Amino acid sequence: MSSTSRDGFTNKFGVIAAAAGSAVGLGNIWRFPYVTGENGGGAFLLVYLFFILLIGLPVMLSELLIGRRAQKNVFGAFRTLAPNKPIFMSVGIMGVGAAFMILAFYAVVAGWTMEYTYLAITNSLSQMGSAELSSFFKEFQSSTTGPLVWMGIFMILTAAIVIGGVKNGIEKYTKVLMPLLLVIIIILCINSVSLDGAEAGLAFLFKPDFSKINGSVILEALGQAFFSLSIGMGVIATYGSYIQKKENLMFTGFSVSLADSLIAVLAGVAIFPAVFAFGIDPSSGPGLVFETLPNVFNNMQGGYLFSVAFFVLLVIAALTSSVSLLEVVVAYFTEELNMSRKKSTIIAASSIAVLGALCVVSDKAFKVFDWTSSNILLPLGGILIAIFVGWVLGHDKMKNELEAHGGKVYLTGVLMVILKYVAPLAIGAVFLHGLGLL
């Protein structure tokens, strides 16, 4: 398939909305707050933001320019740019494999958010006390029918957007969903900071206690920064291939990193003041969203509306990310296997739904997919992407692609140092930490 026949984003806002949508997901609104809570609050936040700038942005730029330079899906991009170099071509294979695995278990978690959105709308959550909320979540997680149905509905919604293509599907819907997500989270923040006792939550988030920083916190912050931006799974490279040459990749990468970080911080502002106002332990773990927050909403004035808004927010965040993951697989099918977009989307979504069903009925499968993608495929992909741009593509080609819009890009020398030395070592530390070796 020639580059001239490829679909693509139509303007700067469409690019940023879609790419930010891929990065902003449940990791920002579900995972970031409880990881921040478990790692001491403000100090963790500062380290996380530092690594977003130092590691996340350069590697994201690398993925964007790889995709745009090749004008192909992530597998085709490395096949074109690194012929006869199997180690780099494996990045494309790992990217497609990671998208399959991640979306399989991600769709299950997204299904949980849809169940809770339904319960919030029907006001069923208000009928449960703290103990009932905790037991209900555990029972729902371990059941089969409900999670299967919601996972299936979520995959149908994801496929319905992707089947429309890049311009008329992904761009069209993310232009609506991302501003809506931002409006909802700002409303939640305003309500949260207005609560009595909210000051303690804000202090926890924004007043760093540097005594909390240790090696484990640093590695957790680095890992969260890396995974939060959807790096290493082929999503950013795939979206990069749809970006026109006239767009400024540096501006795009910075805007996406900023949006991703902003949403994560706003999620903390929406959650921690409310948690402290009602005397909840901020290190409540993964159950913070599904077990703890519904109880907070139940005891809050206007809690019904804020409960509905919060879980709708989670669904939107999950959907913008799932669309990007499915697109990685669909782009591979359409360009490498010469399938139509409709056929590719149906086959990809159906296959992933089957794996998702396996994750529903088998907690072991869920954990294996999660662990393999998070601890092996993504960090290895990130390391190889940094090495490829730093050592194989090189400074001149990188600078040429970053300046394709006609303007000048500075600090490319600094970027090269980061990509050659700092990023591989840092992501390598995350890799070893995930394997339990560091």
**Tens of pLDDT, residues 235-286:** 999 999 999 999 999 999 999 999 999 998 998 898 888 888 888 777 766 6
pLDDT of residue 58: 95
**Residues 185, 252 contacting (CB under 8 angstroms):** no
Integer-rounded Cα radius of gyration of the chain? 21
Domain range for 274: 3-434
- Give the closest residue to 362 by CA, choosing from 142, 127, 161, 44: 142
pLDDT of residue 285: 66
CA distance 80 to 83: 6
pTM (two decimals): 0.92
Q: Domain with 60 in it: what CATH number?
A: 1.20.1740.10
Number of structural domains found in the chain:
1
pLDDT of residue 296: 81
For residue 65, what are its two tokens?
A: 């320019």
Rounded to the nearest angstrom, the gap between the alpha carbon of residue 188 and the centroid of all alpha carbons in its chain is: 21
> DSSP states of 119-174 as a string?
HHHTT-GGG--HHHHHHHHHHHHH-SHHHHHHHHHHHHHHHHHHTTHIIIIIIHHH
Task: List, in order, residues 6 or more apart from 391 with CB less than 8 Å away.
Answer: 420
What burial letters (b/e) apply to 362-385, b meaning 16+ CB within 10 Å? eeebbeebbeebbbebbbbbbbbb
pLDDT of residue 374: 86
For residue 432, what are its two tokens?
A: 């070893």
Crossing angle (nearest 10°) for helices 74-81 and 303-336: 40
Q: Long-range contacts made by residues 140-143, C-beta under 8 angstroms, separation at least 24?
A: 140/112, 140/115, 141/112, 142/363
Q: What is the pLDDT of residues 163-213, one digit of tens each?
A: 999 999 999 999 999 999 999 999 989 988 988 889 999 999 999 988 888
Query: Which residues of the chain fall short of a pLDDT of 70?
Result: 1-5, 284-286
